[in-house]
Amino acid sequence: MRGIIATQIGGHSRADAGRNPDRRAGLASDSRPTDQDLERVLAAAARAGASRAGGLLIHLPLEVKELFAGWLRTYFPEKAEKILSLIRQCREGKLNDARFGSRFTGTGPIAELLRQRFELTSGRLGLLRQGANWTLDYKHFRAPGPAGTQGSLFDPETGT
């Protein structure tokens, strides 16, 4: 449930590019990263050059939770109830917890175990947010144009 962000940051090595996307990060599952893949996803992200990682517990707002549950039951019927049960164990028996401070972290022993695994592995790999030395370069900031106008993906002065 955690570690998905690391995949988005760059969780596969360049040598594996173009092959089976589920094997790019050495995932245990045949489809998408799961909590079982947490350490492998973070390690792959570090090998691919990530300098920090962040993790969020799955957040299912009201309009999404039933859609997600239906999708799980359709495409992963043998795993759906176990996955939903784990989410509920992190959300005080619900699929969603909209309270500030717990909506992206969860509560209970499963959420705490995931947090500890994530922090230990991130720390070992040098990916903890606190350890990353990032500075904001405000020179690249441009104020948005007038309301209703389309922004540009490229710098109008350099074309990049």
Q: Among residues 68, 54, 55, which one has the least CA distance to residue 96?
A: 68
Within a domain: 81: yes
Report residue 99 as tokens.
């309270």
**12 contacts 44 by C-beta, under 8 angstroms:** yes
pLDDT higher at 159 or 147: 147
Q: Among residues 121, 154, 97, 88, which one has the least CA distance to residue 6?
A: 121
Within a domain: 117: yes
Within a domain: 145: no
The predicted structure's pLDDT at residue 46: 93
Question: CB-hemisphere CA count at 13 Å for 68?
Answer: 14
What is residue 29's three-state secondary structure?
coil
Q: What is the count of structural domains for the chain? A: 1
Within a domain: 49: yes
pLDDT of 89 strictly over 70:
yes
Which residue type sits at 40? R
Within a domain: 25: yes
Residue-number span of the structural domain to which 72 is assigned = 4-131
Within a domain: 155: no
**Does pTM surpass 0.85?**
no
Within a domain: 51: yes
Among 21-25, 40-44, 70-74, the minimum mean pLDDT is found in 21-25
The predicted structure's pLDDT at residue 5: 36
Within a domain: 87: yes
Instruction: Give pLDDT tens digits for 10-32.
Output: 333 333 333 344 444 455 545 56
Q: Is 148 left (phi over 0), alpha (psi -120 to 50) or beta?
A: left
Q: Among residues 132, 120, 119, 110, which one has the least CA distance to residue 50?
A: 132
